[in-house]
Chains A and B, each alone.
Chain A
Amino acid sequence: MSHNPLVERLMAWDRGAPLASTETLPFARVPDAERLVLAFVRMGGEASPWGVAIGRPDAPPRCLTVPDPRNRDAHAAFVIDFASEVLAHVGHPLHLGDEVKGGALGERPFPAQALRARQLWVPGATHLEMLHLLDFRYTLAATGDEARLKTLRAFGRACGWLFRESTRPGQVRVHDATARLRACFTFPAEPARQAHLGYLLGWMGDGSGAAREARAHLAERQSVGVTLSPAFERDTLEALLRAFHDAPDAASRDTAAKAIHTALAPQLTARWELTVQAIRALDADPRAQNPQLGPVLDLGVEECQWQYWHHEARGVRADLTPEEKRALGSHPETDFAPVRAAARYFQHLHAYEVTSNELVHGDRVLLERSLDGGDGFTGEVTAVGRENNARSGPVRWTVRCPADESLRLREESKVCLVGSRKRAGAIVSVETHDNTRTVVVELTDGITKTAAPGLPDAIDPAWVGRSVTFLDRGAVGISQRKAMFVRSADGPGAWLTHAAPLPEPSPAGLVRPDLVEIVKGLQ
């Protein structure tokens, strides 16, 4: 049976339980000390959090609230209370732990090892959006005490980077718990319903299919997004907020603020705990993490260094002017410069290519999906040799496979051997007769035992009769080079976007705005 997600959903419904949708997990399992869990709630219609639950998954969360999130000063004070924790977690140069500090301020080396495994977990997509909204609110903060402003702006930039990082394909730093569960399991429910973390976790418990479904439906009635239930706002919070505003003195106002906190804390804790449940469910899963995750993690570290840490580290240097520092941050709304947007587009493409090309070699299900999509073929080696019986050089394998499988690869497509990616080459010919397809592959890389440890030489006749799978080698690296090239001032179209100076205007003599003169000239 194929790994069609729709068929898998049908099978999951038949079984009355979610099915594992991959052979391995596409992210790293890390110790709890490397994880920070955040959950927000907001007031209906507002764009800033009303409260936050924050903490490592192995300890109770800290719940912080602001009585009225529409009060900007109070909101800033509320944010300051947890900003340091977030900044330390993302590795802001001024908030790193003592063990990874070292060097003068602004010249510290990037703590790659310390930040490699850091993960941020949130319950769902709306909580990620809240990071973006905090970026809008605090990155450009302009009024208030300067020391406080520095922390608030740094917090805004960190939230902005975390949000942008969450949109990069294959990233393994910012985890939307709902999306993670959906990526690892096939749930027996329509996609629209699968946006609810409690619903998904309800399906994952013990019991019969009916019991799981009932549990999931019950959990679905509780809000898990950043928005609170309208009934709860109407019946509970509206009166508390009114009491806060109508309080005649500071003591009554404090009492009302505590009442608001008491009402919001369980809501925050519930969201935070659901996220921890999702983490624990994934930790307890018998599947191992994908063995090819290394390059994906490396790319994540690189992105952290150049998209966040590098700017922040330069920003704390005393020798830069405020104007020079301004250029270091990213605006919450836009890149402003088309060339920067184009470069990020190619970086995202590169991230996608790295992730898909690497992980497919570590996961049988991903491999089969790739083969179903025609990006490779499986067959039996029927001949091994060199062109014109040469003594050295590339080795040609003739592989016979069924013709009814789809194949997008053509002559000259680059392919690699599954199980030994270093053994690679290009397709020389593809011929189909009746139900058989014959593919000749010329192997140019990894053809010796030394180059491909654990395998016989490519020229070894022992390969004849063996079943092999070849997969599209992909083109990892091209997009990354494009990301560099688009910045070049010599490229096509650069004069329009970022090259300086602008081209010379047309000579004025060619422009003749006087229509009468032109007509007279024609006569």
Chain B
Amino acid sequence: MGRPSGDVRRRLEQYAANPQCEANVGAALRGLAMRDVAKKLGLEPEFGQSPFALQRGQSFERTLFEEDALPLRRALIERKALPANASGFVDLRIRQGGGVMRSLDEAADGFERFLREAAKATGDARMQLPTIVAGAAVRCPPEVLGGGLLAIDVLTVHPQPRPAPVALRVGEVKVYPDRGGFTDPAQLASARAQAGLYVYVLRRSIEALGLARDLLVADDGFLVLTRAASNQPSVRAGEDRAFQAARAREMFAKLGALPAAQSVEADVDAVIAAPKRYGDGCLSFCELADHCRAEALAQGLPAALGDDLARFLGALSLHRALELLRGEAPCNDAESDFVRRAR
């Protein structure tokens, strides 16, 4: 059992999936994989990723950025996310992802240099800035999860003559097919939340570099999905991320106020001991979900039978609600109200 890699994005999303569960918050904060906690509890977690899906994702990203990102540029121009004469490509992807950078740190340094040059560029040099940046790495604020790096899938650069700032638009690449209005809304929401996080962190980074006067991270961005039954990109432009960025800001503010990690063993024990709060969403991301549900059910917590039932019962336990349904007299206003609503 070891400290997992500093996948800051995954940890932040883990936190956001159930911020009311102290065990989950503790695990996200300490960078602990719930899989390790589950193993210590004697459970057999079954989460994992399909090797074919991973290959498909890598293959799609490689295709996107082939020939100076020609396929992606074409799709962006088609959807008017870039002007027709857009050119130039900066590849900051790490080797593992098909790029040339040796590490995320190197990518972050390269991106910082790019930002500084873009901010000070004037005249023709400014108007000829590269318009697509792949694999831009940015540093999280140090007070959150001990810093850490986030890699933005793709950025578009929109230079304007001074004094207007150079606009940056965040793009998120996903491998699932774009099925128009039938595309899974939960998957889209997750991609937008991720992009909103990048918008916020990128803004913080630009402020920290003192470049906010010359560089502007736009509220809107784009998603790059696959065309159904093809390996070609389908771009969804004009995606508003203002609320997702605000959500990320709130999340960072809350996380910044929490204590830092201890030793791995102590951390696992602390997560096990922390109060759990089971919810419907836990099923999709947490290896302890079944364990917590069983505990919740034993305690008669209504969330074990669904978030909607928990809202309906309020502070009532499952057992007390059943007693009331069987005809026992209510003891207080809340119980009377439940009897009236359940009648």
Contacts and interface: CB of A to CB of B under 8 A. Distances in A.
Pair from one complex: yes
B229 A47 contact: yes
Given A10-B322, A10-B325, A333-B179, A44 B309 contact: no
A125 to B, nearest CB: 10
A6 B302 CA distance: 11
Contacts, number: 113
Contacts of B179: 129, 132-133, 136, 333
B6 interface: no
Contact of B342 (A1, A137, A229, A230): A1
A229 B45 CA distance: 13
Contacts of B284: 192
B298 to A, nearest CB: 13
Interface string B274-308: 00000011011000001001000000000111111
Contact of B228 (A2, A11, A14, A332): A332
Given A137-B228, A333-B179, A4 B306 contact: no
Contacts of A231: 46, 48
A233 B51 CA distance: 7
A43 interface: yes
Contacts of B53: 44-45
A190 interface: yes
Contacts of B307: 190
A48 B284 CA distance: 24
Given A44-B56, A231-B46, A1 B325 contact: yes
A11 B325 contact: yes
B280 A190 contact: yes
Interface residues of A, number: 41
Contacts of A132: 179, 182, 228
Contact of A230 (B50, B181, B304, B312): B50
A230 B48 contact: yes
Contact of A43 (B52, B228, B280, B322): B52
Contacts of B306: 6, 9, 189-192
A193 interface: yes
A474 B303 CA distance: 37
Interface residues of B, number: 42
Interface string A265-305: 00000000000000000000000000000000000000000
Contact of B52 (A13, A46, A193, A332): A46
Nearest to B48: A230
Contact of B51 (A10, A129, A230): A230
A19 to B, nearest CB: 13
B175 interface: yes
Contact of A10 (B177, B180, B229, B321): B321
Contacts of B325: 1, 7, 10-11
Contacts of A482: none
B51 A6 contact: no
A228 B229 contact: no
Contacts of B48: 230-231, 234
B321 A45 contact: no
B263 interface: no
B280 A192 contact: yes
A221 B54 CA distance: 22
Interface in A1-40: 1-2, 4, 6-7, 9-11, 13-14
B51 A238 contact: yes
Contacts of B181: 334
Given A14-B322, A133-B228, A192-B283, A44 B305 contact: no
A230 B49 contact: yes
B143 to A, nearest CB: 34
Nearest to B50: A44
B50 A227 contact: yes
Contacts of B182: 129, 132
B309 A45 contact: no
B57 interface: yes
A6 B313 CA distance: 9
Contacts of A137: 228-229
A189 B302 CA distance: 11
B228 A47 contact: yes
29 contacts: A4-B341, A4-B342, A6-B306, A9-B305, A11-B325, A44-B51, A44-B52, A45-B55, A45-B56, A45-B57, A46-B56, A47-B177, A47-B226, A132-B179, A132-B228, A133-B179, A133-B228, A133-B229, A136-B229, A188-B305, A189-B305, A191-B280, A191-B308, A193-B283, A228-B50, A234-B50, A238-B51, A332-B228, A334-B180
Interface of A: 1-2, 4, 6-7, 9-11, 13-14, 43-48, 129, 132-133, 136-137, 188-193, 217, 221, 227-231, 233-234, 237-238, 332-334
Interface of B: 46, 48-57, 175-177, 179-182, 226, 228-229, 280-281, 283-284, 290, 293, 303-309, 312, 318, 321-322, 325, 341-343
Chain A to chain B: the 3 pairs with minimum beta-carbon distance, closest first: A44-B50, A45-B56, A45-B53
